[in-house]
Amino acid sequence: MNLEKTAGHVTKFASSISDFSLGKSHLKFFTSLPEHVFSRTRVMKNMYNKRWTHKEHHQSYELNNVFRFILIAHNNYLYKISESILEEKAFKDLDLFLDNESVHIKNIYSYFHEIFTEIAIYENLRYDAIYNSMNNIATQSMSFGEISLQRMLKLRFFDNLSHLEKTRKILYNYIFKGSSKQPNRHIMDGNGCVAKFILKNQAFFDIPDFIFKSALPDYINTFISFIGTKMSNLIMDISLYPNVRKELEAEQRSLIKKYGRSITSKQIDEMVYLDAAITESLRLGTNNPMKEAICDSYLPNGAFVQKSSLVKFTTISYNRSSEIYGRDPHCYIPERHFELGTKLEESSLTNIAWGLGRPCPYRQYCARYMKYFAALFIRLYNITQGSDNGYTGHQGYIFDIHVLHAKKNLFLSRRDL
């Protein structure tokens, strides 16, 4: 290990991009300091939008809140789109399943990347010309590492259009004047489409055009990369742990028996085992973002943090600490969260996937959606490693910006729970 210096849970690694790694005693400090002291946005700026002015970054931050309210209001549309796309995919795969008892998915991350790209684009844009240009970029193979992050940046396709008014007109024409071809898919009527809603109500709510360059592509990008990765990890966990799969199936069966097939908000609340299974998957599959010091400061142990230093919290070791999570912290055991009292959508000392002091504002939205998506998937597919008897091996994790299973393949067989 290239360890340069350790002092009171503060570490510097010689070859790391970060200047300081903070250990568990610094969790609250690291996660609670305001944006003008330790900034996550500044790191994002350097990674994604170097050309933006400070004012534009500030505006983007503000627009995120506006966008979030619009999304929440369109929540049902996202759910319907997801169900429709998943069912359509299952229907397309039907031939494969007829010939084979189960289908071998070679790379669950690419498989889900494609599904989530489709969902995000239909939720937000839907119209075929935009869809096609996005899809061409987004379906390139991805590894989710730093290099592929660069590739994902291309998703910010609106950056290529230098003039925002032009962007807005293009979108307007696509959506209202039908200047593009008709939508190439007819799964939904498109009235819930987020871009359409913004364009229609832009003047009334005084929403600047900049939203099409900032919050909207930001959301698409984050939705695909975050939710896509977390759901891939969960499905891999389910395939590796037959005992967990059986509990999840039993929970879904009992909900179907009680309420029928459609999934309502009340049922999402009642999916307690799924809640714990996703929380546990996030625990093992999370690496929280780095932040940049905006001013000179001192850490609680007295270490001097110079302005512009990059600081991160050692999430991976925190999340594998037996002091916090009890027995076998490297193992996937959803039941531990019943004892710990952890809830997926609440950030807490035993669930730091969303941050802590200033947690992710999308946490409730994402948590509920992840439960909904996972429930649909579990009802449609039996998820295995081919055989429950032969141990196929976990193969550990790859730690990068996202934390991924090293193993990528699994087997799906169709069923209707």
DSSP one-letter string for 14-55? TT-S-SEEE-GGGHHHHHHS-TTTEEHHHHHHHHT-TTS-HH
Closest by CA to 92, choosing from 118, 130, 131, is 118
Query: What is the smallest separation between the CB atom of 65 and ligand HEM, expressed in angstroms?
Result: 8
Q: What residues from 302 to 321 belong to the interface with ligand HEM (CB under 6 A)? A: none
Query: What is the smallest separation between the CB atom of 1 and ligand HEM, expressed in angstroms?
Result: 25
φ/ψ (deg, to 5) at 399: -95, 110
Binding mask 322-361 for ligand HEM (x = CB under 6 A): -------------------------------xxx--xxxx
Which residue carries 């506006």 as its tokens?
A: 66
Query: What is the smallest separation between the CB atom of 389 and ligand HEM, expressed in angstroms?
Result: 33
Answer yes or no whether residue 40 interacts with ligand HEM by CB under 6 A. Answer: yes
Query: What is the smallest separation between the CB atom of 386 and ligand HEM, expressed in angstroms?
Result: 28
Answer yes or no whether residue 366 interacts with ligand HEM by CB under 6 A. Answer: yes
Closest to ligand HEM by CB, 130 vs 366, is: 366
Closest to ligand HEM by CB, 131 vs 354, is: 354
Query: What is the smallest separation between the CB atom of 226 and ligand HEM, expressed in angstroms?
Result: 4
Query: What is the smallest separation between the CB atom of 288 and ligand HEM, expressed in angstroms?
Result: 5
* Residue in 199, 227, 344, 404 binding ligand HEM, rule: CB under 6 A: 227
Answer yes or no whether residue 29 interacts with ligand HEM by CB under 6 A. Answer: no
Binding mask 55-74 for ligand HEM (x = CB under 6 A): ---------x----------
* Residue in 132, 143, 173, 222 binding ligand HEM, rule: CB under 6 A: 222
Please say whether the beta carbons of 188 and 122 come within 8 A: yes
* β-bridge partners, 13: 3
Q: Please give the distance of CA 315 from its chain centroid, rounded to a whole number.
A: 17
Answer yes or no whether residue 230 interacts with ligand HEM by CB under 6 A. Answer: yes
206: region left, alpha or beta (phi > 0 left; psi from -120 to 50 alpha): left
Which stretch of DSSP H or E encloses residue 312? strand 310-313
d(CA 383, CA 134): 29
Closest to ligand HEM by CB, 193 vs 384, is: 193
Among all residues, whose Cβ is closest to ligand HEM? Answer: 355
Residue length, the chain?
417
d(CA 157, CA 61): 19
Binding mask 237-276 for ligand HEM (x = CB under 6 A): ----------------------------------------
* Residue in 174, 362, 372, 373 binding ligand HEM, rule: CB under 6 A: 362
Query: What is the smallest separation between the CB atom of 217 and ligand HEM, expressed in angstroms?
Result: 10
φ/ψ (deg, to 5) at 292: -110, 135
Closest to ligand HEM by CB, 289 vs 329, is: 289
φ/ψ (deg, to 5) at 248: -65, -40
* β-bridge partners, 310: 292
d(CA 138, CA 56): 25
d(CA 255, CA 279): 20
Closest by CA to 199, choosing from 187, 188, 211, 214, is 211
Please say whether the beta carbons of 307 and 321 come within 8 A: no
Please say whether the beta carbons of 274 and 251 come within 8 A: yes
Query: What is the smallest separation between the CB atom of 295 and ligand HEM, expressed in angstroms?
Result: 17
Answer yes or no whether residue 289 interacts with ligand HEM by CB under 6 A. Answer: yes
Helix (H, G, I), strand (E, B) or coil at 412: strand
Answer yes or no whether residue 218 interacts with ligand HEM by CB under 6 A. Answer: yes
CA dihedral 413, 76, 361, 126 (to 10 degrees): 80
Closest to ligand HEM by CB, 85 vs 227, is: 227
Q: What residues from 381 to 410 belong to the interface with ligand HEM (CB under 6 A)? A: none
Answer yes or no whether residue 152 interacts with ligand HEM by CB under 6 A. Answer: no
Give the interface with ligand HEM as residue ranges (CB under 6 A).
31, 35, 40, 64, 218-219, 222-223, 226-227, 230, 288-289, 353-355, 358-362, 366
